[in-house]
Amino acid sequence: MSVPWKPRVCNECWTFYMIDVLLLQLAWFRGTTQLQEPKYVDIRPLTTMEEKQIIPQLDLNACLSLLLANLRGVESLLNMETIGLVRALVHFDPTETAMKIRSITDAQNLIELIFCVSG
């Protein structure tokens, strides 16, 4: 069986691999996948000052815990803290990150956030 892609070929396509593993985990949790209506959020480009802000230097567990806690909020917004945590999360291995997700809701929230940020 040939593999159409190789994981970690470039740093710019990390979202594909993370989403792929998250969807596999989600399908395993549920037994089947159910397609949902996509949600779109208007995202503005970062200002010069925002681009210069330091990316949080956290380990994977701390970064993921903070991000998932942020996403569990009733009105989860793409504030600077969330964007900083996503930027920090990019530096970790997507497979390892996906394996740390233990709830269906967290997996769905993270997938929606990744689609929102990368779209």
Burial of 43 (0-12, 13-18, 19+ CB in 10 A): exposed
Residue type, 87: R
Q: What is the mean pLDDT of residues 3-13?
A: 52
Give the total number of structural domains in the chain: 1
In a domain, 1, yes or no: no
In a domain, 19, yes or no: yes
Write out pLDDT tens, residues 42-97: 555 656 665 555 555 678 888 888 888 888 775 656 677 777 787 778 778 888 88
Chain mean pLDDT for the chain: 68
Q: pTM score > 0.75 for this model?
A: no
In a domain, 2, yes or no: no
Query: Dihedral of the CA atoms 89, 91, 93, 94 (nearest 10)?
Result: 50
Determine the structural domain holding residue 52 and report its residue range.
11-37+47-118
